[in-house]
Structure 1
Amino acid sequence: MLQHIKLGWRAALRQPFAVLVLFLYRFAWGFALYELVKSVIIPLLHRYPGNVSPDRVHLFLAEIQFQLTKTDLISPYLWLLVGLLGARMLLTPFINAALYYSVEYTRLNNGYRFFKGIKELYKSFLLYYLLQTVVTLGPLYFLIPKVKSIFLQAVSYESLLMNLLPWIAGCLVYGFLVRLAVMYLQFGRTANRPLLQSMTCLIKGLLPVIGMAVILLLLSFLLSLTVLTVVFVWAGFWAVLLYQLYRFAETFISVWGITSQHQWYTSQSA
């Protein structure tokens, strides 16, 4: 397992173009969401009364609640958010197709294999992305009534949180496993191997596959925790620069995770 992580590190270093494009894509998506949230929050905060009596603050919060729930103030922003999510659903398969093709066919030129992957694999990867989305969100049909029941029966926020935690954890684990399964389907499609062979490779090596994914997930979490702690304590220009470098490192770790799994897939499919 550790050997494949080490080989994945070397393979990720050979993907500078893919890492850069993925970083810019994530940066653009984050910036778009930031601007959307800012356009909603800042106008509302202009009416914040400041350090005055609690009654004025409660009145301010009640006014915001009324504007958000009883007027159409939020409607344009919701439609804009839906548009952004739709754009993301169309663009993500582009990036995935290019990245997976670039990882598989390393003998080709960096930029050429990236764009060739889009041409060769986009339609298939769009279907895989839709499949992943549907399968991931499917359990919500059964979970929403359960969550509603927990919410109505909760006597405090603490009890509500404690009752919801197992369900939240279960959803996260389920989504994690679905993502791994779709990843191996995409490996098979990129290498033109049968679907059954890809799924067999995943099932036979499920423990090392999950182990590699968890190790890199923990690495990303520890990096996030360290950088965010430094940014909060050490504000200023260098903190902003450090945060952007962290975002780039986080993107590299994401690619590293894919290349490590690809190394395992290739070794088992050879």
Structure 2
Amino acid sequence: MVKSSIARGWLSMKEQFYILILLFIYRLFWGYFLYKFIKSAVVPVLLRYPDPGAGGSEMGRLLYYIEGHTALQSDPAVLRWLWLLLGLTVLRLLLSPFIRAGLLHELHQERAGARGLFFFPGMKKYGLPVLLFSLAEWVLTLLPLYWLLPRMYRLLLGGIMNYPLLLKLVPYVLGWLLYLFIIRKLLLYMQFGYTAGTGMFSSLLVCLKVLLPSIGISIVMGAGSLAVLLICSASALLYPGLPALLLRQAAPLPSNLLDMWGIAAQYHLWSSKSFPQ
């Protein structure tokens, strides 16, 4: 079941190659902004960090954190960059549901045997409903942080002077990521049902029935994304300079491919149970 869903998802990617190119250009612009942000706002701050090799002390690091905290509250340049980053991040979060809506509409039309450019009509037709699903996902994602953040904040403060304390954050982070994975999985299948007109809750039941194969697909696609990340990281270490830069700029293409492929594979797994042949 996992293998057949992944294979059918790959065939869907061949039909929707133009979406992959559009997303690649979109992520290139986002990566360029992050590069400018890091170069202009983050690198100057990091250069002020006390050098341990030059006699940097615990007191020097503490003063560095105090200075950074003060700059976040009062420095106009820092605040301007942070507001710009926040605004563009919110814009990207709002665009992502519309992109997913277009992709889902394409998959529905492909299953129905239609051929054409259905991405933008899908964004228009299902963008707002999928945005509501995303809002629900964000609320459910942030809800556990109400209890987790106070505990994690104390550990972070202690970790400034005692780094081993940061290891105690690992169980909290892993538990939250597992919860996030499950929520996203359930909501994705509910979106399949809503946009197909078969019902959200019936698709939720389908998700529970095919949960193990669905997790298998996620593991395969996650392994591919991890491989892309490792290749980019290794290239930066082994071939610094222009080769690493070119590979890093091309990285969104396989990353977008794996993201779309994963959604398409999950869709075909869902449709195999919702529309049995």
Letter in 1 for 2:240: A
Shift of 1:269: 0.1
* 1:18–1:102 Cα contact (<8 Å) kept: no
1:14-163 alignment runs, 5 A limit: 14-44=15-45, 53-54=54-55, 58=60, 61=64, 64-65=67-68, 68-69=71-72, 71-73=74-76, 74-106=78-110, 107-110=113-116, 112-151=117-156, 156-158=162-164, 160-163=165-168
CA deviation vs aligned residue, 1:163-190 (integer Å, no higher than 9, x gap): 1101111111111111111211111122
Shift of 1:208: 0.9
* 2:9–2:261 Cα contact (<8 Å) kept: yes
CA deviation vs aligned residue, 1:15-53 (integer Å, no higher than 9, x gap): 101111222222222222222232213554787899994
Shift of 1:104: 1.9
Residue 256 of structure 1: which of 241, 258, 261 is its match? 261
* 2:106–2:122 Cα contact (<8 Å) kept: yes
230-239 or 201-210, which deviates more: 230-239
Letter in 2 for 1:7: R
Q: Distance in 1 between matches of 2:52 and 2:179?
A: 45
CA deviation vs aligned residue, 1:224-262 (integer Å, no higher than 9, x gap): 212320232012333322233332111101111011101
Shift of 1:145: 1.8
Residue 219 of structure 2: which of 191, 214, 228 is its match? 214
Q: Distance in 2 between matches of 1:147 and 1:48?
A: 24
Shift of 1:68: 2.0
259-268 or 221-230, which deviates more: 221-230
Letter in 2 for 1:68: A
State the partner residue of 1:235.
Answer: 240
Q: Distance in 2 between matches of 1:48 and 1:183?
A: 43
Query: Structure 2 vs 1, CA of residues 225 and 133 (structure 1 numbering), >3 Å: closer, same or farther?
Result: same
Count of equivalent residues: 268
* 1:44–1:64 Cα contact (<8 Å) kept: no
Residue 179 of structure 1: which of 184, 200, 215 is its match? 184
Q: Distance in 2 between matches of 1:68 and 1:41?
A: 12
Give identity over the alignment, percent: 32
Backbone CA RMSD of aligned residues: 2.8
Structure 1 stretches lacking a partner, 5+ long = none
